[in-house]
Amino acid sequence: MNTPQNSSLGREVSYPSQYDPGLLFPIPRAAARAEIDIDEAALPFVGHDRWHAFELGWLDLRGKPQVAVATVQVPCTSPRLIESKSFKLYLNSLNSARFDGAESLRLCIAKDLSACAGAPVQVAFGLPPLRESPLGESIDGLDVDIDCYGPPHAEYLSADATDLVEETLVSALMKSNCPVTGQPDWATVSVRYHGPRIDRAGLLRYVVSYREHAEFHEQCVERIFNEVSQRCMPQWLEVEARYTRRGGLDINPWRASPGVASPAAIYREQRQ
């Protein structure tokens, strides 16, 4: 069964000694989406899960080690997400494999990840540069009392229907936990929208209420998108969470209203 409990998460595993695409562990998206009333057949958003891989190595045909970094993009329309620890183990399995050049390796990775996700996955060598200026306006300095750290409280979200705005609100206080190991996942989350002005204090309390919530990164972002959409009724919305690195990988799930252009992979957050 493709559940987190049947993956390598939370288990002691041997370092792979040879190339093995079977290490990749897919998790169906449908179950988590059904929990928040998202219809797989009529997704209310577009989006992708963008990974940055910092630890990628292989051997050339003469046995000389090669290294690179990579950007990987999985469409949110894929029926399955790729579990992160299995992704790391898969990349490790490439360390002793021989390839006839970087392009041969890139095509191999794209083929394996696409088979795991069930949809075409884009792979490019290189990483976007670090971003020096804020993505939007931070709400972290608000003077608010907070006493709820989970589960997520959608009732904190509200908006003023008499005041229409377009803005990007950012919080670096996003934290959730792995649903299997309980390990913390840290992120900077941005909410860009056009519509009734969102109450910032309520949004900050809502973000912090994920602090003890156990859910995969991709699922958290879809939950945020869904609940902000329902509670605040924006004309359009995009939500992105830029998670910090673990095991040489970071992930950046992005979900947006249909018609909103996909952001280019042009930067990373300082914490990444």
Structure tokens at 13: 């595993």
39 in the same domain as 10 = yes
**Cα–Cα–Cα angle for 15, 20, 24, nearest 5°?**
90
Which letter, b or e, does each residue of 227-246 get, where b requires 16 or more Cβ atoms within 10 Å of its Cβ? bbbebbebeebbbbbbbebb
The pLDDT confidence band at residue 271, using thresholds 50, 70 and 90, is: confident
Q: How many domains does the chain have?
A: 2
37 is catalytic: no
205 labelled binding-site residue? no
Which of 76, 116, 178, 232 is flagged as catalytic?
178
3 torsion bin: left (phi>0), alpha (psi -120 to 50), beta (else): beta
7 labelled binding-site residue? no
108 in the same domain as 162 = no
218 labelled binding-site residue? yes
Q: Give domain status of residue 265, yes or no.
A: no
The pLDDT confidence band at residue 267, using thresholds 50, 70 and 90, is: confident
The pLDDT confidence band at residue 9, using thresholds 50, 70 and 90, is: low
119 in the same domain as 93 = yes
The pLDDT confidence band at residue 270, using thresholds 50, 70 and 90, is: confident
Find the DSSP H helices in 36-72.
none
Which of 116, 185, 220, 250 is flagged as catalytic?
185
Q: Given 67, 100, 125, which residue is the final one in a domain?
A: 125
185 is catalytic: yes
The pLDDT confidence band at residue 272, using thresholds 50, 70 and 90, is: confident
Q: Give domain status of residue 263, yes or no.
A: no
Q: Give domain status of residue 262, yes or no.
A: no
Look up residue 184 and give its amino acid: P
Burial bucket for residue 183 (CB in 10 Å: 0-12, 13-18, 19+): exposed
pLDDT, one tens digit per residue, over 23-36 is 999 999 999 999 99
Closest residue by Cα to residue 9 from 250, 180, 140:
180
The CATH number given to whatever domain includes residue 202 is 3.30.1130.10
Separation in Å, CA 75 to CA 72, 156, 216, 220: 10, 30, 16, 16
Q: Give this prediction's pTM.
A: 0.91
Spacing of C-alpha 182 from chain mean position: 17
Q: For residue 211, what are the domain limits? A: 137-256
83 labelled binding-site residue? yes
